[in-house]
Structure 1
C-alpha cells in the first residue's frame, strides 16, 4: 500500500463532494426525459452526453489522481497529471450543458468551446500520467 499525499487527499475529498452535483444533473435529465421540462432532441442528446461525461471523467480523474501518487513527477507535471482529467471533468460537461441551453435550441452555442478546452486537459492529463507511470 502507498501513502497518499495531503494535496491528493484534499483534492479527492473536494471532488467526491462536488460529484454530488452529478446526481442533481441526473434529476434534471430525468425531468426532461419524462417531459416535465421542454427540450429539443438536440438538447436531450447534449444533456445526456454532459451527464455521462461528468460521471465517467470524475471516476477516471480520481484514478489518475491516485496513480500519480506512485510517480516521480514534480512541479507542473505533477499538477497536470493529478488534475488534468479532473479539470476536463468540469469543462467538458459544461461545454455540453451550456452550449445546449436556451429555449428551442437545435445547435450548439459558442459555449461549445469549453468542450474542446476540456479535451485538451483530458489528453494532456492522461498523457502526463501515463508517461509518469512508465518512467517511475
Structure 2
C-alpha cells in the first residue's frame, strides 16, 4: 500500500471510534433521553448501522484491491464504497432532522446516491479483482 493509502486507511479506521460514540446517541434515543418519533428512531438506527458496516466493508475492499495486478481504475472506483459510507448515513440522519417530522425531507436523496455509489464501487471492485486474477494466471 502507498503511504497515502495507509494514512487515509488509518484515518478511516479511526472514524469507527466516532461511529461507536454515535451509538451512545442511539442509546439515548432508544431510552427516551433524546426525544424522537418512530420515523426518527428508525432512520437513526439505519444510519448508525449503515455507517459501521460500510466503513468496514470499504476498508476490506481497499485491502483486496491492493494487489499489483489490479487495474488502477478498480482501486479508484472501489473507494466509492467509502463514499457510500458517508452519503447513506448522512441521508438517514439529515432527512429526519427537526421536531416530530412526519416524512423524510429532500435530503433522503443522499440515501439513494449512497446506494448508487455502493453498487458502482462493489461492481468495479469485483470486476477489477477478476481482471487482476486473470492477469496472474
Shared fold (TM-score, shorter chain, > 0.5): yes
Matches within 5 A, 1:59-98: 59-70=56-67, 71-74=69-72, 76-81=73-78, 83-98=79-94
Structure 1 unaligned segments of length 5 or more: list them: none
Q: Distance in 2 between matches of 1:37 and 1:79?
A: 40
Which stretch of the first structure deviates more once superposed, 4-13 or 124-133? Answer: 4-13
Secondary structure of 2:95's aligned partner? helix
| 1:105 aligned to which of 101, 107, 112 | 101
Question: Is it true that 1:40 corresponds to 2:37 in the alignment?
Answer: yes
TM-align CA RMSD: 1.2
Question: Is it true that 1:129 corresponds to 2:129 in the alignment?
Answer: no
**Number of equivalenced pairs:** 131
Following superposition, the deviation at residue 51 of structure 1 comes to 0.3
Secondary structure of 1:100's aligned partner? coil
| 2:22 aligned to which of 22, 25, 28 | 25
Query: 1:40-99, CA deviations, whole angstroms, 9 ceiling, x for partnerless residues?
Result: 00100000000000000011000001011024212x442111x11111001000000000
TM-score, normalised on structure 2?
0.90
Which stretch of the first structure deviates more once superposed, 4-13 or 88-97? Answer: 4-13
Structure 2 unaligned segments of length 5 or more: list them: 133-137
Following superposition, the deviation at residue 106 of structure 1 comes to 2.2
Q: Distance in 2 between matches of 1:30 and 1:106?
A: 22
TM-score, normalised on structure 1?
0.91
- 2:54 aligns with 57
